[in-house]
Structure 1
Amino acid sequence: MDLKTLLKKRLQKANDSQQSLNDEAAEESYFQQYLAEWGKEPDATQGIPRFFNKIPKESEPLRLKLREESRSNLLKRRSLQLLDNNELKELWVLLDQNQSQPDEQLITYADFQKVSLLAGPK
Structure 2
Amino acid sequence: MAYYLVLGEVPAKRKLDYVEFDSSKRVMILRNTIYDEKKNTFSSIDRNDLILWKVDIPFDCENDKLKMLDNVLGTINIKKDLKGEEMLPGDEISKYLRNLPPSSIHILVQPPPPATNGKCLPMVYLSN
TM-score normalised according to structure 2 size: 0.18
Larger-gyration structure (1/2): 1
Q: Going by fraction, where is strand more abundant, 1 or 2? A: 2
Structure ranking higher in helix proportion: 1
The structure whose RCO (Cα within 8 Å, separation 6+) is larger is 2
TM-score (norm 1): 0.19
